[in-house]
Structure 1
Amino acid sequence: MTDTTNKPIATRNLDRYGHAELPWSRPRDLLVRDSATTDLTFFVATVRPDGRPHSAAVGAVWVDDTLYFVGGPGTRRSRNLAANPACTVSVRLRGIDLVLEGEAHRVTDTPTLERIADFYRTSGWPATVDGPAFTAPYNAPSAGPPPWHLYRLTVHTAFGVATAEPHGATRWDFAR
């Protein structure tokens, strides 16, 4: 989702207890507000070449209605994404658990890298652009050694389960 006007094209209420459908604005607004200021842990799940799943915690940010995350070229997630971009990203937000399904592709254009590096710096990680990737004095061990590739998630489907009032469970579908 790279367009700030991107909205779900279909919504389905998954709640079995009579709660109303959740608006997409609920998790989206939390991602916008908390991405740079709250310690959110995102988990990216990818598929190994033999079909087995792989999951890893990543430092992700939501910028311009798009989720970005990093991974070293030698990490399992980066190798999996190079072969098959299908993945899910999960996060627990304040009052709602969110799963994003879609495809992640590497970002190499300098303007986007600079914009996202600046966002990471604002949120406390001193990333700098080095060619088509990021470097920094440190990163999580799960990211592998530098340089770190940047990935953009194109969301096809999202699922939200509210853990606080108003409760509910909803599926949002986005244009492909």
Structure 2
Amino acid sequence: MTNPHATKNLDRYGSAELPWSRPRDILTEDTPTADLTFFVTTVRPDGRPHSAGVGAVWVDDALYFKGGPDTRRSRNLAVNPACAVSVRLRGIDLTLEGEAHRVTDPATLERVAAVYRKGGWPATVEGDALTAPFSAPSAGPPPWHLYRLTLHRAVGVAGAEPHGATRWDFTP
């Protein structure tokens, strides 16, 4: 289980530090069945940011997302794996920072495809990628590369009780 090695309370109003288990448990429960939009921000070769909405799922304590090999995000990640992913969860806004690397392991691909299928997207594994009869237009044509985010830092701002704002650091 991914646990932070350090936390910092960012709240200015006296709220307690938020536990990492709060967003982690919501990610576990709500992906892929809740209507969540994740935004992945990558870095272009010239240093400018690029953001795109993606379908993502939390599986085995990690965030996975997809992209066609010719999409800007996939081309950016091939050169520079640094990225950030943002999402509004039930009661808490969350930003995840880290590195995304392509997943080609057949067992992991199948495990993640099964979670996508549970949410209604009929993903299957084809070679070292995912395919399906349809996807979001921004994903590009199939097959789609699967990426796993290696989490370095996360920031959560709770808009529901208990309120608070916390940064969790995952790398020493």
TM-score (norm 2): 0.98
Instruction: Tell whether 2:18 aligns with 1:22.
Output: yes
Matches within 5 A, 1:127-166: 127-166=123-162
Aligned letter for 2:68? G
Q: Distance in 2 between matches of 1:53 and 1:157?
A: 18
Gaps of 5+ in 2: none
TM-align CA RMSD: 0.7
- How many residues in Structure 1 have an aligned counterpart in Structure 2? 172
Identity of aligned residues (%): 78
SS, match of residue 17 in structure 2: coil
**CA offsets 1:59-90 (integer angstroms, 9 cap, x no match):** 00000100000000000000000000000000
Q: Which residue of 2 aligns with 1:109?
A: 105
Q: Distance in 2 between matches of 1:94 and 1:114?
A: 28
d(CA) in 2 for partners of 1:115 and 1:33? 16
Q: How much has 1:37 moved relative to structure 2?
A: 1.7
SS at match of 2:29: helix
User: What's the offset of the Cα at 1:36?
Assistant: 2.2
**In structure 2, C-alpha distance between the alignment counterparts of 1:123 and 1:139, rounded to whole Å:** 13
Residue of structure 2 equivalent to 1:120:
116
Contact 2:32 2:56 in 1 (8 A): no
The CA distance in 2 between the partners of 1:104 and 1:36, in whole Å, is 19
Matches of 2:20 and 2:89, distance apart in 1: 13
Q: What secondary structure sits across from 1:118 in the alignment? A: helix
Q: Distance in 2 between matches of 1:138 and 1:71?
A: 13
**Match for 1:36 among 24, 27, 32?**
32
Letter in 1 for 2:44: R
Gaps of 5+ in 1: none
TM-score, length of structure 1 as denominator length: 0.96
